[in-house]
Amino acid sequence: MTVTDLVGPHVVLLATGGTISSRASEAGGAAVASDTGEQVFASLGVPAAHPVRVVDVFRKGSYLLTVDDMIAICAKIRQALANPQVLGVVVTHGTDTMEETAYLVDLTHDDPRPVVFTGAQRAADADSPDGPGNLSRAIAVAGSPQARGVGVLVAFAGTIFPAAGVRKRHTTSLDAFANPDFGTAGSVSESGEVEIQAARSGLAPLPLPEVDAGSPRVDLIAAYPGADSTLLRACVQAGAAGIVLQGTGTGNANRALCREVADATATGVVVVTSTRVEAGAVVPVYGDGGGEDLRAAGAIPAGLLRPSQSLVLLSLLLRLGTPAAGIAETFARRGTLPD
């Protein structure tokens, strides 16, 4: 059932668009986010595990989202949780940038009640859409006492992941997500049986800035064979306050990029080094333009955080006015496995 008032315990469904709400714009045309939250919820076809109140945030493919959009989702979650009758929150979201938004929410979430992200790989008008099953299971997780105190979660294809470290692993597979370093948080069956085995890291939440608190530019560039400093320099000239460098291996680049990083950090630009590799930490080891030279040039190692979530954390810290030393300390804490 959908509840329209605030009487009795219930789960809030925040609908933001994505494939789970998408249909072909015309016969054989491209899919676009079009279904309302009520339409997405109605697609379940079976009773939900808990009463649900639906709130439409917006209808967008997640490839269109900005950091301000993600902050707006965080604010809607806080608004929903202001009601003590709310058991938890489900956010339906496109899979393209689910890992970014979920991580931003996790960084700023200051409530024991669960926030669960889910979505779909197949559009709502597909012959066999996966969205209804994912949503049904996410509602079960959001209302489960087991999910309290474990932070922000991604529930997809029956697996529950912690937001930190989660990433989309496949463009089309229904089993779309993985978390190689931080692992899984549990599972949820088709019938809504929830098993949670992971505890939250215990790190204190970071403040949530206002949407209009300023939008420092943060860019992401890649190191690759033959890369020079052109793109990094262009980012600095465009006014970047922060740059995430997607390195190779353990977080390496080359001499040209390393020199440009040194010049950028000397002017106050914060550079964070991540890696394109699927799993494992950024470890400054190599010279001759490698990770150790990047560290000496002022770059901050991202630890286990991949480029997508490194960009989110760096963007948040810059919006909060965090100095470079504080940013380095935060990445050192949040880029490691919880104790």
**CATH number, domain at 282?**
3.40.50.40
Question: Are 242 and 310 part of one and the same domain?
Answer: yes
The pLDDT tens digits for 174-199 are: 999 999 999 999 999 999 999 999 77
Answer whether residue 27 shows pLDDT above 80: no
Going by pLDDT thresholds of 50, 70 and 90, the confidence category of residue 25 is confident
Question: Are 188 and 224 part of one and the same domain?
Answer: no
Across the chain, mean pLDDT equals: 95
**Residues marked as catalytic:** 19
CB 116 within 8 A of CB 89: yes
Question: Are 187 and 234 part of one and the same domain?
Answer: no
Distance CA 218, CA 60 (A): 22
Mean pLDDT of 31-57: 96
Neighbours of 122 (CB within 10 A): 17
Going by pLDDT thresholds of 50, 70 and 90, the confidence category of residue 227 is very high
Q: What is the pLDDT of residue 232?
A: 98
Distance CA 105, CA 301 (A): 22
Question: Are 104 and 31 part of one and the same domain?
Answer: yes
Answer whether residue 3 shows pLDDT above 90: no
Answer whether residue 42 shows pLDDT above 70: yes
Question: Are 166 and 270 part of one and the same domain?
Answer: no
Question: Are 225 and 181 part of one and the same domain?
Answer: no
Question: Are 159 and 264 part of one and the same domain?
Answer: no
Question: Are 227 and 179 part of one and the same domain?
Answer: no
Distance CA 269, CA 241 (A): 5
SS3 164: coil
Between these two residues, 18 and 200, which has the higher pLDDT value?
18
The pLDDT tens digits for 125-156 are: 999 999 999 999 999 999 999 999 999 999 99
Amino acid found at 124: A
Mean pLDDT of 201-220: 87
Neighbours of 256 (CB within 10 A): 17
Assigned domain for 78 exists:
yes
Q: What is the pLDDT of residue 4?
A: 54
CB 163 within 8 A of CB 179: no
Assigned domain for 97 exists:
yes
Assigned domain for 5 exists:
no
Question: Are 182 and 258 part of one and the same domain?
Answer: no
Neighbours of 117 (CB within 10 A): 32
Q: Please tell me the total number of residues recorded for the chain in this structure.
A: 339
Question: Are 253 and 290 part of one and the same domain?
Answer: yes
Distance CA 149, CA 151 (A): 6
Token duo for residue 126: 């597909």
* Structural domains of the chain, count: 2
Query: Domain holding 52: CATH number?
Result: 3.40.50.1170
Give the range of the structural domain holding residue 26, as residue numbers without chain letter.
10-196
Question: Are 186 and 284 part of one and the same domain?
Answer: no
pTM of the model: 0.96
CB 166 within 8 A of CB 99: yes
